[in-house]
Amino acid sequence: MARTGITPSQARRESKRARRERAGEILARLRREYPNTRLALDFQSPLQLLMATVLAAQCTDQKVNEVTPPLFRRYPTARDFAAADLTELEEMVRQTGFYRNKARALKNLGMTLVAEHGSEVPDDMEQLVALPGVGRKTANVVLGNAFGRAEGIAVDTHVQRLSRRLFLTEEEDPEKIERDLLPLLPREEWTRFALLLQDHGRKVCKARRPECAVCPVADLCPSAEF
């Protein structure tokens, strides 16, 4: 198959300035392609988003969105999660997979929020990642989407796959990928860029069969083939 645009060898040799310009153009095109991009998880509060993000591990956002409405009606506050009967909580999140671990995680989060944060979700990266079971990706999702604070880029499987295919990074570890991406984009676009890559990863740049022929950034992608 023929390759067009920038090649992998060219991408590896490009200057920091050239890579920033390419990343900026990728961002601009994806913004035009997905003007209404938004987080796929449904939520109405930082607590709901925190809990939904925990449930989304190794589960589709669609399935989480089916599970969370009755869950949040049953447990509307951190204190409710803290006091939850574990067996009942397990049953309510069963469809998301790994339900025993997830139920314990939700209950432990509720208990910690009550004991250490006045039942409120903190809007601080250091405090968020100190919560049980919360890593930097989850913290970035909550800060960027619930609080409107761009502290980093949430690197999920879509962001990881696409940023590597685009040769914006050659790292595999999510935190190292994030460190490579941050200087390439304006801070105010960090949250949106992750959402755009997620949209593009679901619709076009799929894991097994990327649809390069209809990709709006194919000529900027060293991995694109036709």
| Catalytic residue annotation | 137, 156
Instruction: Determine contact, residues 39/195, Cβ cutoff 8 Å.
Output: yes
Task: Show the tokens assigned to 139.
Answer: 């913290």
Instruction: Determine contact, residues 142/154, Cβ cutoff 8 Å.
Output: no
Question: Cβ-count burial of 156 within 10 angstroms (0-12 exposed, 13-18 middle, 19+ buried)?
Answer: buried
Radius of gyration of the chain (CA): 19
Please give the Cα distance from 67 to 65 (Å, whole number).
5
Q: Which residues have C-beta within 8 Å of that of residue 208, sequence separation ≥ 6?
A: none
Sign of CA dihedral 155, 156, 157, 159: negative
Q: Which of 55, 21, 28, 25 is nearest to 41 (CA)?
A: 55
